[in-house]
A and B are shown apart, each in its own frame.
Chain A
Amino acid sequence: MVYSNPRIAEVDLLVIFEGGYACVELKRRASNAAEDSLKYFVAGLAQQPVFYAHGGSQSELGTVHHPTPFLVPWEKLRQQLVGDESQLRSYVESVAEGRGELFSLDNFLRLLLVYGSPSVCEALLSSPFLSKLSEKFQLVKTRFSQTCAVKLIPCKSDSQRQAQGASGDRAPERVERIVAVIPTLNSEVYQKLVAEAIERYASSASAREVILTCTRRSERDALGILEVLEKSGRVQAYKKVVEGERGKDLEESWVERIFELCETSCAVLFVGEVPKGVLTKSAESFARRERKPKLAALVWKPKLKPESVVECLRAGDLTKTEEVTLGVVEL
């Protein structure tokens, strides 16, 4: 999780130079400047320069009992670091778009930029598959060139063909029914989060009903989700417990039942840690079918609004952290 939860190593602003980077920690008041110094130590960033900026006026510095050499008014620092706002806006927009699509990989590449040793970065960035991804996705290409600049690695991406922008979030196609595959979730917290994600998906795909398929082991989790869905009442939801049938194992029975429930227009939504046998058998069954349902899975996604990032930078308010939510990806 250290790699996929960006809040652990959250930095207000990372300023990238040729050969290094600096962190900027922004506080509303000058007197609060150094309160996060422990965070930088814990996140392993203590060896890097940290600039503290405050959103108040220059005169406020007079009230600081222990000013640090790097404490500056945000307005001054913003002018020097951020520069042209339209450029910043277009950068944030392009990153936000790609980040929604490549959240997990982007978190890794960002941590690689901060923590990776130059030799590890060089070995990874030249690996065939990652090179291919940098040709395919603009965000990966951007991260590559940033990492190369910070680690002083010769960058090959300039000679490569133009990478594609992210395809962005597509609106899901309309479906009548969602068949959700519910394994054990190990936590009641997730029952509510999953139910909310299913509800959002049902609403955006205009689905009229949701069928939660589960086994005896995961029935409790399915009931928890069902309860939340019934309470909100926005979609009709049912639960179906799959039992092993004579001569078949539970995986086979579960997959058969899933596809039996897919009639006209339908989406199969896989939630959490679905048994791998169910996934591979579903893929095989899917490949054989003429009328194919939609296949979808739940993943963590960022809730990043580019306009609010630019607005926060302008106003000197970087107190908000990036939120994550469970979202649906359709294959």
Chain B
Amino acid sequence: MSSSSSVAPLALKLVRRFSPKEKRLEGLLAKLKGLTSGAQWVFLQTHGMWTAGTEGELIVEITQNGETTLHIHHDDYALVKALESVPLFHFAVDRLAVHKSGGGGVSPWGVHIRVKRGELAQPPSESIEVSPLAFLAATAGLHRLARSYRLQAVQSSLSKEITAALFGACASRYKAFHELYCVCECDEVLGALAALAARTVKASRMPEEALAAELTTAREPPRNICAYRCLLEHLLQRRKLEVGVRRVEGRLQLYSKSGEGSSQLNEVLQAISREVLGRLEAYQRVLEELKGGVRGNELKLAVGFSEQMGPCDLYLIASIVELIGLSGRVEATYVLATPLSYPMAAVSSLYAALELEALGHVELVLASEDEAVSKALAEHLADRAEKSTLVYLAAGPTPQVLALSVELKRHLGDRAVLIPLAPRPAAAT
């Protein structure tokens, strides 16, 4: 990877196509009336807000130093208003550029002040289409949730590769999240990796105080900055990338599928593999424990949805269910969101309800780490379980996992199966 002083930015365009399975869409849209408008929706973080897009285009440009510019069209007035209404939560880009198709240089009077200040510019001549998840990853801020979104976007774009590497199985029959949008997989991977690399490079300049203000022990300072910088430069120079996932000594590892310049790229990909994919090694344990014997013909799954989780997690769970022949037995899946994971849990459960039939009826349940809420949730799940076996895939905040595990055991006894969403630690010799 040669060093270059200036490389043209990479432009990611938010895709407008959306094609889930017709039958499931029909039923779901009736239920979610008002949340989605037709097939075109823009994914925003705040409480899962969606709004119908108009004719304009949304493009984000990523530069070599990790900075981002959002290109937006004047005519998208309603969208501009929606985006600008809560700037804290989304579209935390470095610059805003406004386009006018008819020429001229004056902003309409009604457009928000930030748009008025935005540079009037030409849209980028070349761009690649990405799903709303990769687009969100590129435009989200630098807080820890945004970092999770970027990791989720990469994981989601590689869902099929990860499934094959983890379980040694052929890719699942289900569409990955981005495939619902008919996005080319190479472009999705490229966009998601560029978003991750760019914002990690930017976040490395964040002050210590900002990290401390997140009030959590879960956030680690950014690592492997050099590797991310090299990766970003490579992506901006080459504009294409074929990435695969393989298992090396039990660990998931990213690698380049193309020959040219691959040894250096592989070093970079290897350096970031643990951070990007390490958490997903937990699903090998889920597979083993579910295979090891879950009694009862009727199963219900309760998936603790932590802030690191995204659509890929539900894809992997559905693949496991298929792989070990449980698909007919899973009646329902409850996605247990917390206030922090709620927006991504909402989108992921919508995806699962549309596509992942193996998970049965998918229901999003908003809970929290408050002990009283966890107890009520355990009661609610125990009621819903009726005579089925309830498999709790434990993830999320410590107080919630602890309270749910204890209470589910109390209510359901052996019919509560607890499986931690964490890689199996090695036994001591």
Contact = CB atoms under 8 A, between A and B. Distances in A.
B421 interface: yes
A102 B428 contact: no
Given A104-B369, A127-B366, A284-B418, A249 B398 contact: no
B409 A5 contact: no
Contacts of A283: 402, 405-406, 408-409, 418
Interface in B87-137: 87-89
B371 A331 contact: yes
A119 to B, nearest CB: 3
A112 B218 contact: no
B410 A277 contact: no
A280 B408 CA distance: 11
A119 B36 CA distance: 10
Interface stretch (B45-53, B162-170, B249-257, B314-322): B45-53
Contacts of A117: 47, 49
A329 B376 contact: no
A122 interface: yes
A280 B409 CA distance: 10
Interface string A1-17: 11111001100000000
A132 B32 contact: no
Interface string A92-103: 000000000111
A137 B373 CA distance: 10
Category for how many chain A residues contact B = 35 or more
If over half of B's interface residues share one DSSP class (helix, strand or loop), that class is named, otherwise mixed; here it is mixed
B428 A247 contact: yes
B425 interface: yes
A124 interface: yes
Interface string A243-287: 111111111010000000000000000111111110110111011
Interface in B385-429: 392, 394-395, 398-399, 401-403, 405-410, 413, 418-422, 424-429
A104 B370 contact: yes
A64 interface: no
B406 A299 contact: no
Contacts of A102: 368, 370, 372-373
Contacts of A286: 406, 409
Given A104-B339, A243-B428, A276-B395, A186 B220 contact: yes
A120 B428 contact: no
B212, B213, B399 — most chain A CB neighbours (10 Å)? B399
Nearest to A7: B213
A310 interface: no
Interface stretch (A26-34, A40-48, A206-214): A40-48
B115 to A, nearest CB: 13
A86 interface: no
Contacts of B340: 1, 3-4
B372 A2 contact: no
Contact of A115 (B46, B377, B406): B46
Contacts of A122: 34
B144, B413, B418 — most chain A CB neighbours (10 Å)? B418
A253 B371 CA distance: 27
Interface in B28-50: 32-35, 46-49
Nearest to A183: B217
B216 interface: yes
Interface of B: 32-35, 46-49, 85-89, 143-145, 211-220, 338-340, 342, 364-373, 375-377, 380, 392, 394-395, 398-399, 401-403, 405-410, 413, 418-422, 424-429
7 contacts: A102-B370, A104-B369, A108-B368, A119-B33, A133-B373, A270-B398, A280-B419
